[in-house]
Every structure is written in structure tokens, then in C-alpha cells.
Amino acid sequence: MSVSPETHASSRAPRPTGAGPPAMDVLPPSALAAALVLLFGFAWLLTLGLDDARRRTSGTPPRQVTAAEAPISPLSGRAPSAPEHPVEPAVPIPVPRSDPPLATAPPADEPQSLPACPTLLHDLAALNVTLSTRGARLLLGEDELKFASGQAELGPSTPARLGQVAILLARHAKIEAWVVGYTDCVGAEEDNLRLSEARAAAVAARLIELGAPAARIHIVGRGATQPIADNATAAGRARNRRVELELTLPD
């Protein structure tokens, strides 16, 4: 038997007048709890990130959160665990320090410091020179040069330090040598001046024979001027009969 639309519609239960909308499905309690845990953990991690960024900007290391200060989860009743990788403290950037300016050249009355060249230091130490603001000075006395009285000829044997000076001049191209001769006060002034220059020339010639470059050797005769001992005694006059080597040193 066929049923008409009207009959089918009337067979359904009538909707009560004044009823509200249909009821919505309610989430299970387990899903609601998981959502709250995730939301709480995300908020806590976001708080840590903002605190770390603020401390990095200020240059201070992050403060470790103690168990008493950690927030308590409303669901589990326990504080959330610390991040797996702890935040490293900020490393301060070192500020470059300006060194004091280098010292200028020493005053004229102070001894000159030794040059930095190791080979030159070794050669000067072997010669036992005296350093000054003008360079290095080496004194060759009568006992080393063995000049005969009133003569300017060197003997066949070369003083050991004179050979070392020749090696020094040959090895270091920036060093020049002034060979300066002196006498005692006995005799005429002109004769002493001539004799002192001749003795300086004899020493310079021996240096050249030993390999020192002639272009960097200069001779000067000063006679009886600038004595270093008393000419009134024989010992003092012997000390004044000398040849000095003045060496200019590189910077």
C-alpha cells in the first residue's frame, strides 16, 4: 500500500514548540586535557624565549629557573621539565685596547740600546764595544797595535779584535767605520797630528786587507787632543797613544 507524503510527514513525532537548537557534541575529557597541556607548555616556552632574548640584549647571562619558581601545571600538578638544550650565556665582545705610543729616540746623554739583529748583537758582544747615542766605540791601545815610537807601521800580526771588526763591516752593509788616531803630548803639535792620522790610515789599510769595504771606512787624526789619561805619567801617555774605531749602527 502506498503512503502519501502527507501521511508520512504526519507519522513523525511533532517538534515541541519553544525548543532550542540541537545540542552540540562535547569533547571527551582526555582530548580536552591534552589540549590544555599543550597550550600551557607552549605559553611557558614562549615566556622563557622572551626572557632569554631580553637578557641577551642587555648582555647578562640568563637566570636559571629553580624548581620553586617553575609554574605548576593545573592538570598534572608538576612543574614542566627544563628544555632539552640549556640556553648558553651571552659572551661579551672584547673591546680593543689601545697600546701606548712607542718611545722616541733616547736622549743624547743616555746609552744607545743594542740593535735588534741577532747576528749584529753577537758580533758587537764579541768586540766588547761601548755604546753611545752616536753608535759603538772600540778602543785599540798601544799594547794591541804595538806601534814603534814615532812610527805608524803595524806589525805583521793583526790584533784579534781588528780582525773581528773587518768581519763585522763585511757582514753588515749599513755600518760605517771612522778610524781615529791619537797621540800623547810629547813632540810638536803638527807632528803629533800627522802621526795620529798616519796610524789611523795604517789601521784602516789593515781592515781593507782583511776584507772590509774601503768605501765605508774613514780616517781621522786628532793628535794629542782628547786625552783619556794624565800625560804627566808614562802610564798615562801610553794610554793616550791609541786608535779608536767609531761605528755607526743601523736603527
Strands (E), 141-197: 176-182
Same domain? 87 vs 201: no
Same domain? 175 vs 228: yes
Residue 18, domain member (yes or no): no
Same domain? 181 vs 222: yes
Same domain? 123 vs 229: yes
How confident is the model at residue 104, as a pLDDT?
A: 36
Residue 23, domain member (yes or no): no
Same domain? 139 vs 54: no
CA-CA-CA-CA torsion sign (150, 151, 156, 162): positive
Residue 180, domain member (yes or no): yes
The count of domains in the chain is 2
pLDDT digits (tens, 9 = 90+) for 187-241: 999 999 999 999 999 999 999 999 999 999 999 999 999 999 999 999 999 999 9
pLDDT digits (tens, 9 = 90+) for 125-136: 788 888 877 789
How confident is the model at residue 87, as a pLDDT?
A: 53
Same domain? 134 vs 47: no
Same domain? 88 vs 122: no
Residue 107, domain member (yes or no): no
pLDDT at 61 > cutoff 70: no
Provide the domain limits for residue 53: 32-92
**What's the whole-model pTM score?**
0.53
Say how far apart CA 103 and CA 107 lie, in whole Å: 11
Q: Which residues contact 113 (CB under 8 A, 6 or more apart)?
A: 106, 131
The three grid cell numbers given for residue 160, joined into one nine-digit string: 784579534
Domain boundary among 92, 107, 130: 92
Give 132's strand partners: 135
The three grid cell numbers given for residue 119, joined into one nine-digit string: 747576528
Of the segments 31-35, 90-94, 124-128, which one has the largest average pLDDT value? 124-128
Same domain? 181 vs 233: yes
Same domain? 174 vs 240: yes
Same domain? 36 vs 132: no
How confident is the model at residue 122, as a pLDDT?
A: 76
Same domain? 231 vs 174: yes
Residue 61, domain member (yes or no): yes
Residue 200, domain member (yes or no): yes
Residue 110, domain member (yes or no): no
Please give the mean pLDDT across all residues of the chain.
74
Same domain? 122 vs 242: yes
Residue 53, domain member (yes or no): yes
181 contacts 197 by C-beta, under 8 angstroms: yes
Within 10 angstroms of residue 171's Cβ, the number of other Cβ atoms is 14
Q: Which residue has the higher pLDDT, 76 or 107?
A: 76
> In the structure, what pLDDT confidence band is assigned to residue 139 with cuts at 50, 70 and 90?
very high
How confident is the model at residue 27, as a pLDDT?
A: 59
Provide the CATH number for the domain around residue 231: 3.30.1330.60
> In the structure, what pLDDT confidence band is assigned to residue 119 with cuts at 50, 70 and 90?
confident
> In the structure, what pLDDT confidence band is assigned to residue 101 with cuts at 50, 70 and 90?
very low
